[in-house]
Amino acid sequence: MRGGFLHNHILLDPIEDLLMQLGAATRREHYVRSAGSAGFIDLTATLGQHRIACEAELAADRVSSDLRKAQAWAATLLVIVVPTRRVAQSAQRAVNAAPGTRPVGGVWVLPLGPALTRLRDCFPFLPTSKGNRNKTTGWRS
Amino acid sequence: MAPKPRPKFRGDDLWDDLVYGVTHDLFEDPVSRAALTAAHYGECDEEIANLIRNPVRRAKTREQLGLDDPFRIPRLGKPELILGQDAKSRSVGISRSWLNAGLLVTGNTGSGKTNLIKFLLLQMAASVEGLWATDLYKRDLRHLRPVLKRAGVDLVILTPRRIRRNILQPEGDVQTHMAVVLDTLQRALDLPPRAVTILRTALHDLYTQFGAFGGVRDAYPTLYDLFEYVRAATKVNAPARLAILDRLGALLISLTPEVAAYRYAWRPNDLAGHRIVFEMCGASEQVKSLLLGDLLFSTLYRRVQGGRSNSTMDLVVVLEDAQRLLSTGSGSSGDLPPIEELAGLIRGMGVSLWAACQSLDGLSRGLRANLATKVMCRLGAAGDYREFGADMGLTAPQLQWARLNSRPGVAITQLAEGPWRQPFIIKTPELKIPPVVNDAEVEESTKALESLRLIPAPEFANWTPYQTVEVTQPKKASEDSEQGQAPTSGETRYLRAVLDHPGRPSSAYASLAKMGVQRAIRIRQSLVEKGYLREHTVATGGRGRNAIVLEPTAATERLFSENAQGGKQ
């Protein structure tokens, strides 16, 4: 899996855990391809009619690529999780400046804590399913 | 019927009209020329006389009404360099070599000086080996780069931070360079005579120490060495020493070691082979004066010393807004002739010096005399019109016309060389060059100079004018007793907690490792220093400070895998 400790374990694991608890079917490193571009969405989740694309970013420079990939996958919501509020501000500016259409549900650019809170608040509570955590490291394999 | 009396040709008003017409270029068309020829051969009837009189009458009427300018159309031969258009919209061109005698352009702000300079630069850049253009206050000349690129000219744009110059590095005779340096420093720092004497001794000692007099040619003292030398010389005259330290220290702070701390830096002779715009806006006046003055003086003196005579022009030096640089206000050490004499000496040495000024204020008479080709754009002061007009030989009507009719793009020119010395009018087309060159492009342009040799003086990389002592915290005895970088038992416990509970805020690990909060903080910092943990800042909550999240490194995993293997054995 691509990305470092902060990207994969600190930012994406909690989001994936939460989405699974909410009953979503998740998938890491989802390959998408559209005219002229191809890439991997860090995390995708399908929850009923919702198609949530989740990208973890440590800086704002790849945000326009995230938007293209979300559009290619026909996501209804793009969640860009960043480590701090400062990065969130710059990423939000990059989102505002980027061309192209947005998912119908919008683009959330949030630090980890607020992202978890908003996902929890905005999606209905469903029976939880436990993730496949590694028993020795505690991280998702 | 008696024949009509033939008009007299000589001795009456027809002769006066003919002279007036010739001196005012009124007989340029074929019909007028044919009439002149006929009159010359004595065939001057009334019709031919009218062909001569009519244009003269029209011209005199227009002149009395103030509709025509009182300047003649120049006849300059085959042009190599177009100055602009004359009053009849025909191109006015000169030979390139005529500009060897220097060019002085004066005009107040917005009068078209820069436009004229750019117009000439675009034509000259491809045909000369070296071009130095200074943009002291604006960022205008950089936009010539893409235009010149199309002509195969790589224009380098040097900002003050990108210049690499050790002004103590001689090129040629060390003794002469020492005089140049003293003169440049005195000009830039405005030093008292006693301080100059101290600097002279210091420079001599430094050059001796570095073996420059003995022929060593790859490492020279820097200005920082000079400062340190004077700082250490506590027995010299105290006020003079302090004057040097104060002024040189302030200069070196503005100059920065990145620019000036080199044992061997770019030589003016190397730079003379490139087309460069010195974009000095943002630098202090001292830095501008020092860097440009040094380059200019070093190059000019070297050529004067070389004894070249009547060589072809291979370097054009353009000083835009050069009022301050060329001003005679600041002093000189007296060892060298001032710039105005130098401007006269370089004529035959292949350097063409162009200066653009807003007024004549501060420019010496000698400089005006030696920048022989003169262009008067719109001026803003009566004194300037009077003085510059007198320099250019303008008549009273011409001067009055200049006062009332000068406008942007229209200039009165007098050439120093060539067959035509009378002043004439040129109209320079307005160049519309799009401002497309950004700072990244400027950075890119300097790659052309990367091949030039540079030997830095790293000991001055963090130089400050005040002596500093580095204070470090002594290690505690307990830390000294640690064997290498191995973690202590408390640190191992902390690491275990991090591995077992990844992704938690660092504050959580104190209780998980069963230790106090302050101790946990110390241990965390120690483990980060030793390379067992890496810290990340993450906003894990909705509000409040960001949490520190700890990432175990490969060293931690190795440590615990070794422990696990040791336990199994």
**Which among A88, A111, A138 has the least Cβ separation from residue B502?**
A138
| Local confidence pLDDT in tens for the 569 residues of chain B | 555 555 555 556 788 888 888 888 888 888 888 988 888 887 878 888 888 889 899 888 888 887 778 888 888 877 888 989 887 788 888 888 888 888 999 999 889 999 999 999 999 888 888 999 998 888 889 999 999 988 888 999 999 888 999 999 988 788 888 888 888 888 778 888 899 999 999 999 999 988 888 887 888 999 999 999 998 888 888 889 999 999 898 888 888 889 999 999 998 888 988 999 999 888 888 888 788 878 887 787 777 777 766 677 888 989 888 777 777 554 454 544 456 666 766 767 788 889 999 988 878 887 888 888 999 999 989 999 999 999 999 999 899 889 888 889 899 999 988 888 899 999 998 888 888 888 888 888 988 888 888 898 888 888 877 766 666 665 554 444 444 478 888 888 898 888 888 888 888 898 888 888 889 999 998 898 888 888 888 888 777 888 888 888 888 888 887 766 655 44
Q: What is the pLDDT of residue A42?
A: 92
Q: Of B338, B331, B329, which is closest to residue B189 (Cα–Cα)?
A: B331
Both structure tokens of B453? 């040799």
DSSP 8-state class, residue B502: T
Three-class SS state of B477: helix
Q: In what order do the strands lie in the sheet with A50-56?
A: A25-34, A37-47, A50-56, A77-82, A107-111
Q: How high is the pLDDT of residue B470?
A: 62
Task: For strands B130-135 and B410-414, give the pairing.
Answer: unpaired
pLDDT attached to residue B70 = 84
Residues B503, A137: C-beta atoms closer than 8 Å: no
In a domain? residue B41: yes
Give the residue from chain B lying closest to A10, CA to CA. Answer: B503
Would residue B260 count as lying in a domain?
A: no
* Residue B406 three-state SS: coil
Q: Establish if B31 belongs to a structural domain.
A: yes
Residues of chain B with Cβ-Cβ distance to A9 below 8 Å are 502-503
Exposure class string for B248-280: b at 16+ Cβ within 10 A, else e: bbebbeebebebbbbbbbbbbeebbebbbbbbb
In whole angstroms, give the CA distance from residue B95 to residue B316: 15
Domain extent at residue B507: 486-568
Q: Which residues in chain A are contacts of B539 at CB distance < 8 A?
A: 83-85, 88, 111-114
State the smallest CA–CA distance between residue B555 and chain A in angstroms: 15
Residues in chain B with CB shorter than 8 Å from the CB of A137 are 499, 502
Residue at B448 is within a domain = no
Does the structure show a pLDDT above 90 at A80?
yes
Residue A129's pLDDT band, with cuts at 50, 70 and 90, is very low
Q: Which amino acid makes up residue B465?
A: P
User: Looking at the DSSP assignment, which residues form a beta bridge with residue B85?
Assistant: B91, B427
What is the pLDDT, as a whole number, of residue B479?
A: 47
Chain A residues within an 8 Å CB radius of B536: 5-6, 10, 83
A48 in contact with B, Cβ within 8 Å: no
Q: What is the pLDDT of residue B390?
A: 92
Short-list B529, B466, B451, B545, CA closest to A85: B545
Q: How high is the pLDDT of residue B481?
A: 40
**Quick check: A13 and B542 CB within 8 A?**
no
Write the DSSP assignment of B116-174 as a string of letters: HHHHHHHHHTTTSSEEEEEESS---GGGHHHHHHHTT--EEEE-GGG----TT--SS-H
Closest CA to B276 of B138, B163, B112: B163
Closest Cα in chain A, distance from residue B501 (Å): 7
Token pair listed for B521: 């903080």
Q: How far is B533 from chain A (nearest CA, A)?
A: 12
In angstroms, the separation between the Cα of residue B500 and the nearest Cα of chain A is 6
Burial-class residue A69 by CB neighbours within 10 Å (0-12, 13-18, 19+). Answer: buried
Mutate to test the interface with B, among A17, A81, A84 (most CBs of B within 10 A): A84
Out of B502, B503, B537, the one facing A84 most closely (by C-beta) is: B537
- Among residues A41, A45, A43, A40, the alpha carbon closest in space to that of A19 is found at A45
Closest by Cα among A73, A67, A75, A57 to A15: A57
Q: Where are the domains of chain A?
A: 5-122
Q: Interface pTM (ipTM) of the complex?
A: 0.75
Q: What domain count does chain B have?
A: 2
**CB–CB of B320/B103 below 8 Å?**
no
Report pTM: 0.61
Cβ–Cβ under 8 Å, residues B559 and B495: yes
CATH fold for the domain made of A5-122 = Trna Endonuclease; Chain: A, domain 1 (3.40.1350)
Query: Under a CB-based contact definition with an 8 Å cutoff, are residues B380 and B106 in contact?
Result: no
Does the beta carbon of A97 lie under 8 angstroms from any beta carbon of chain B? no
Number of other CB atoms surrounding residue B498 within 10 Å: 24
Residues of chain B positioned with their CB less than 8 A from the CB of A114: 539, 542
Q: Are B91 and B78 in contact (CB under 8 A)?
A: no
The verdict on a CB contact (< 8 Å) between B538 and A6 is yes
Give A111's contacts in chain B (Cβ within 8 Å): 538-540
pLDDT in tens, A36-52: 667 889 999 998 888 99
B413 with B72: CB under 8 angstroms? no
Spacing of C-alpha A116 from chain mean position: 11
Joined tokens for residue B309: 């005579």
Pick from A11, A88, A137: which is nearest to B502 by CB? A137
Structure-token pair, residue B46: 């009334």
Do A113 and B541 count as a contact with CB atoms less than 8 A apart?
Answer: yes
For chains A and B, CB pairs below 8 A equal 50
